[in-house]
Amino acid sequence: MTSTDQDTARLRAHTVAERERLAGLLAGLGPRQWAAPSLCDGWRVREVLAHMTMPYRTSTLGFLRGMIAARFAFDRYADRAARADTARMSDAELLAALRDNVGHPWRPPGGGAAGALSHDVIHGLDITEPLGLPAAPIDRIATVLRAGGPRSFAYFGVDLDGVRLRANDSDVELGDGTPITLSAKDILLIVTGRRPIPEH
């Protein structure tokens, strides 16, 4: 097995473990928690999970049709799909969609195994943070940060110019400038636009 194969296998193992972890946490939620606001603006916990599990029930043709209807604006398409799915699926059905697909091989276009892990860890935080539930393990969050880097996180529109975010619980550093020391979780929340950069 090559080093690339080993890296892919490691990322894949993290992804499966994260899905299993989230399914276990979500199994204990009550109706109010399912309806609670997430870190994704305008989405409840239900919409976030619908979005996370959408690839498991959407064909390539269905995706293309949805993108065409949304005029190729992915965020618009994702919002419509999440709201449509939550309108027709119960909390139990949404949970089953995750639990039944922990081993699903889906990877985001161009994102590879790292993209699949990032998708689940980031959206997992969208759910667990406002509910006060445990976050992904530090090594899993650090893996996402190492695999992503500035180019990947540019999607979220966060400007790290003049700032270096340095983790105090792992060997992660992002940016080049004035150092700000935070947890790896806080760094991931910042670079994905979920939390502002602290004053420095």
Give the mean pLDDT of 20-46. 97
Distances 37 to 40, 53, 121, 128, 131 between C-alpha atoms, Å: 8, 18, 18, 11, 9
- Does 172 lie in the same domain as 110? no
How many distinct structural domains can be found in the chain?
Answer: 2
Cβ-Cβ contacts under 8 Å for 54 (sequence gap 6 or more): 78, 81, 82, 85
Give the mean pLDDT of 104-133. 95
- What pLDDT shows up at residue 154? 74
- Does 53 lie in the same domain as 119? yes
- What pLDDT shows up at residue 109? 85
For residue range 61-77, list pLDDT tens digits in order. 999 999 999 999 999 99
pTM: 0.94
pLDDT at 150 over 90: no
Distances 105 to 37, 45, 157 between C-alpha atoms, Å: 29, 23, 28
Where residue 160 falls among pLDDT bands split at 50, 70, 90? confident
CATH of the domain at 87: 1.20.120
- Does 10 lie in the same domain as 80? yes
Provide the percentage of residues in the chain whose pLDDT is more than 90.
Answer: 84
Give the mean pLDDT of 21-38. 98
- Does 49 lie in the same domain as 20? yes
- Does 169 lie in the same domain as 75? no
Looking at 95, 115, 136, the residue that finishes a domain is: 136
| 83 exposure class (CB count in 10 Å sphere: 0-12, 13-18, 19+) | middle
Range of the domain at 166: 148-200
Within a domain: 143 = no
- Does 168 lie in the same domain as 193? yes
Where residue 156 falls among pLDDT bands split at 50, 70, 90? confident
What count of other Cβ atoms lies within 10 Å of the Cβ of residue 1?
A: 7
- Does 163 lie in the same domain as 92? no
